[in-house]
Amino acid sequence: MFIIIFTLIYGGAHLYIWSRLVGHLGIIGVALRLLQGLFILLFISFPLIHAAFRHQNGFAVTAATMVSSIWMGMVVYFVLVTLTSDLLGLIIFRAVFDGRAVSAVITTIVVAITVYGLIEARLIGITHLQARMPNLPSQLEGLRIAQISDVHMGRIVRGSRLERIVTMVNDLQPDLIVITGDLVDAEALHMEDMVHPLRRLKSKNGTFAVPGNHEYFVGIDQSQAFIEQAGVTMLRNRWVTIAGGLQLVGRDDPAATWVAGEKIPSLEEIMRGTDRSKPTILLYHTPATTFEELQSRGIQLQLSGHTHKGQLWPFNYIVKLIYKMPYGRFTSGDTTVYISRGTGTWGPPMRVGARPEITLVTLSAKR
């Protein structure tokens, strides 16, 4: 169903772009047929590569993935800018906004946004977050947790880009590293060279991860084997005590149910045996919990991801419509939820208005 809906929307966007920006330019003959062929190729390239070539690597496939992914982002802004042009044309004087000039102006604007988005996607920032936990023991005061999320390792996020993420995390000298889902994309399972950079992650208390929806799209068993091969401990519906008293709880993503047909235990079942007098952190990829649920289980901090803050403006507004806690920090009493904007990208290797981040959380019992 998702594939059908995506194809209809994506195809409709291409038809709109062609009719408004290309169809009226008067191109005929061989040039027209070549342009039509290129447009059709660009339309089918993204789903084709991810469906037919997901188990293949190499320079050609990687390059084609990059081009098709960038084009997907450009399509978004071609539609938005063209719609804006059409609306202005209806309101002011349509003839001013038709013809070759408007096609050139729109294309220039979209190219500029694309270049900006490609740059912003690599400008990973450090977000500092102070989280109060009233029952935090004195020996854990000031404990620092580095959170990365939605890295989407694959054909695009790899190599030097992945090395840079690892280096930035290590430079923070965290006491604990957590990965809140979507560490991998499908292609990552066929790129063993990604294991080594992840093994360089260093903290006093190790690196822990929970699965996101993309780990299930890939196959949860394969994803878990790959992640654990990189020295990361997966917390799948279980909890551990670290650093002499901090309870770290991991819960599977809702995709476990609708992708893999697995039943996700309730928080009560997962946390059976925990001590409510001890500080507790929940790692959960999708921000689908409520403060009432967290507080009833004695959880003071939840770290999540998934939403990317929309990744491309204006999708941040759609994210707000879907999730009560879409991105950023939310608090209720002594309970804090933080939803990361994500560290990598999915689909278009671009970010517009949603700068990627690594979150450094400092725990404190003080107000």
The token duo for 341 is: 């904007």
The token duo for 133 is: 């936990």
Per-residue pLDDT tens over the stretch 212-224: 999 999 889 989 9
Beta pairing class for 233-234 and 207-210: parallel
Closest CA to 152 of 364, 311, 325: 311
How much is the pLDDT for 23?
72
The token duo for 243 is: 């650093």
Strand partners, 357: 125
Check: CB of residue 284 under 8 Å from CB of residue 325: no
Q: How far apart are CA 11 and CA 8, in angstroms?
A: 5
Q: How far apart are CA 2 and CA 193, in angstroms?
A: 32
Tell me: pLDDT of 188 over 70: no
pLDDT category at 193 given cuts 50, 70, 90 is confident
Tell me: pLDDT of 92 over 60: no
Strand partners, 210: 180
Tell me: pLDDT of 97 over 60: no
DSSP letters of 170-198? HHT--SEEEEES--B-GGGGG-GGGHHHH
Question: In the chain, what are the domains?
Answer: 2-120 (no CATH), 126-364 (3.60.21.10)
Q: How far apart are CA 25 and CA 103, in angstroms?
A: 9
Per-residue pLDDT tens over the stretch 124-136: 999 999 999 999 9
Q: Is the pTM of this model over 0.75?
A: yes
Q: How far apart are CA 64 and CA 308, in angstroms?
A: 24
Tell me: pLDDT of 347 over 80: yes
Mean pLDDT of 148-154: 94
Q: 111 by DSSP, 3-state: which?
A: helix
Q: How far apart are CA 61 and CA 59, in angstroms?
A: 6
Q: E strands, the chain, where?
A: 125-132, 144-148, 176-180, 207-210, 233-234, 238-242, 246-251, 280-284, 301-304, 328-332, 335-339, 357-364
